[in-house]
């Protein structure tokens, strides 16, 4: 009797797993999650619809990006440089008309960003072990808004990483 119960349980387990797998692969319809029935498509129509869904849609216009020279922010703690934070970023400008005006103030932007980041990192690294890219992007965007106003849409953070200074560890 015990054997019969065990055999029946094993058969139910295997059958249920097989039916579930067939439902997941779409071989048999899933009665618990019925899909709406659409028009029947032939193989060629299905392939064409799939290609249309995956087709690359180019942007309406090229992004206007201004290169900002790479910034190296020293982290000064206890009177010495303990590490350096390297930042590579680009400024996204509203239109091509604004490019010259933004390019003329890139040095002012860098100065404002560094003036903001140097004291920030002194306090930040007291509690944190590594740099957070989101916080850096937020600070850079705030500096861009102060310097440029609405001319700059966004700051694209290409890379941010830190390096320990020699002899600091």
Strand locations in 39-115, DSSP E?
A: 64-67, 71-77, 80-93
Look up the pTM and report it. Answer: 0.62
In the block, which residue shows the tokens 């320990």?
164
Distances (CA, A) of 8 to 5, 14, 16, 83: 5, 10, 12, 67
Distance CA 161, CA 89 (A): 12
Written as tens digits, the pLDDT of the chain (169 aa) is 889 999 998 898 888 888 888 887 778 887 777 665 556 667 778 788 888 888 888 877 778 899 999 999 999 888 888 899 999 999 999 888 888 999 999 999 999 999 999 999 988 888 888 888 999 999 999 999 999 998 999 999 999 998 887 766 5
Distance CA 144, CA 152 (A): 7
């Amino acid at each position: 009797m015990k054997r019969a119960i065990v055999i029946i349980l094993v058969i139910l387990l295997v059958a249920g797993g097989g039916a579930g797998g067939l439902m997941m692969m779409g071989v048999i319809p899933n009665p618990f999650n019925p899909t709406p029935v659409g028009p029947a498509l032939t193989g060629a129509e299905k392939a064409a619809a799939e290609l249309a869904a995956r087709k690359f849609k180019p942007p309406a216009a090229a992004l206007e990006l201004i290169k900002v020279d790479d910034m190296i922010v020293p982290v000064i703690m206890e009177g010495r440089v303990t590490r350096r934070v390297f930042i590579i970023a680009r400024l996204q400008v509203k239109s091509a008309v604004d490019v010259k005006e933004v390019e003329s103030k890139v040095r002012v932007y860098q100065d404002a960003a560094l003036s903001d980041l140097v004291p920030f990192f002194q306090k930040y690294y007291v509690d944190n072990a590594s740099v957070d890219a989101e916080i850096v992007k937020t600070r850079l965007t705030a500096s861009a808004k102060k310097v440029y106003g609405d001319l700059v849409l966004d700051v694209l953070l290409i890379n941010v990483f830190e390096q320990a200074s020699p002899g600091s560890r």
